Amino acid sequence: MNREVCGLNIHYIEEGEGPLVVLLHGWGSNIELFQPTVDLLKNNYKVVTMDMPGFGQSEEPDEPWDVDRYVDFLLAFLEPYHPDKVILLGHSFGGRVIIKLCARNLPFKVEKVILVDSAGVLPVKSPWEKFKQKLIRLTKWFFQLKLVQKLFPHLLETLRRSSGSADYNAASPLMRQTLVKVVNEDLCDLMPHIVCPTLLIWGTADTATPFSDAVKMNELMPESAIVRLEGAGHYSFLERQEQYLRVLASFFNVS
């Protein structure tokens, strides 16, 4: 299904009837990965998940967004449902949006939260990483000089590909700017605002949002608990799908 939200054509799935459950995918992902979750919950809940702007089959924004703009989008998307209670599940970047959302003065109650390998904790950079970052910025500035670009037109692109993350390199120019806005924000100060029952589902081998992030979130969120998916990486809900679905079934009290 598709509809216009915030002036953008948004692709989404809506299945089932009952209390509203909203699923938010991670960076560079899309709603297709959530189909097993939808199938598990749709007999007892109204399950909604959308390709967020710039991902999947949804349109890109017309300018780079930060996390707050994605929260504004989500609130606009949910407005036609007129919910009084919402259950939120987010993977990676989707979890980041949920953390920001829960710090807002909302027109509905957030009843439960499930964060799967969620982003939101800003990594502490080592002295070497800080030096490397400064060196890349200096090199980028040099490569952007008009004379250098004229003599060596491909140097800047080579630097981008060698120093950028996989997510950064795979994104469009506009979404790269969005990614920079998104990843440099630490949300730890907002985590105590999540006071509802919160389940943290985490792969112990996650290198993108390491398990130590789950431990920190658990310390900051007053009603949270951690479920470890042993040996799974950043997409733990796919790598350990059977275990993940059993955990969800127990948390939602469905079969």
- The predicted-structure confidence for 33-68, as pLDDT tens digits, reads as follows 999 999 999 999 999 999 999 999 999 999 999 999
Provide mean pLDDT across the span 123-147. 61
Q: What is the pLDDT of residue 255?
A: 78
Provide mean pLDDT across the span 128-150. 61
Q: What is the pLDDT of residue 122?
A: 87
Q: What is the pLDDT of residue 38?
A: 97
Q: What is the mean pLDDT of the chain?
A: 89
Q: What is the pLDDT of residue 27?
A: 94
Provide mean pLDDT across the span 197-215. 97
Provide mean pLDDT across the span 203-226. 96
Q: What is the pLDDT of residue 161?
A: 59
Range in 84-88, 136-140, 192-196, 247-251 the model is least confident about: 136-140
Q: What is the pLDDT of residue 142?
A: 60
pLDDT-derived band at 151 (thresholds 50, 70, 90) equals low
Q: DSSP secondary structure string, the chain?
A: -EEEETTEEEEEEEE--SSEEEEE--TT--GGGGHHHHHHHTTTSEEEEE--TTSTTSPPPSS---HHHHHHHHHHHHGGG--SEEEEEEETHHHHHHHHHHTS--SSEEEEEEEES---PPPPPPHHHHHHHHHHHHHHHHHTSHHHHHH-TTHHHHHHHHHS-HHHHHS-HHHHHHHHHHHT---GGGGGG--S-EEEEEETT-SSS-HHHHHHHHHHSTTEEEEEETT--TTHHHHTHHHHHHHHHHHHT--
Provide mean pLDDT across the span 124-151. 61
Indicate if the pLDDT at residue 133 is higher than 80: no
Indicate if the pLDDT at residue 139 is higher than 90: no
Domains of the chain, CATH where assigned: 2-122+185-252 (3.40.50.1820), 127-174 (no CATH)
Instruction: Give dist(CA 23, CA 113) in Å, integer.
Output: 10
Q: What is the pLDDT of residue 65?
A: 96
Q: What is the pLDDT of residue 171?
A: 72
In degrees to the nearest 10, what's the CA dihedral of 213, 214, 219, 225? 170
Q: What is the pLDDT of residue 181?
A: 87
Q: What is the pLDDT of residue 197?
A: 97
* Percent over 90 (pLDDT), the chain: 74
Burial of 226 (0-12, 13-18, 19+ CB in 10 A): middle
Q: What is the pLDDT of residue 105?
A: 94
Provide mean pLDDT across the span 211-238. 97
Provide mean pLDDT across the span 147-160. 63
Q: What is the pLDDT of residue 182?
A: 86
Contact 96, 118 (CB under 8 A): yes
Instruction: Give dist(CA 196, CA 170) in Å, integer.
Output: 35
pLDDT in tens, 156-172: 566 555 555 666 667 78
Indicate if the pLDDT at residue 249 is higher than 80: yes
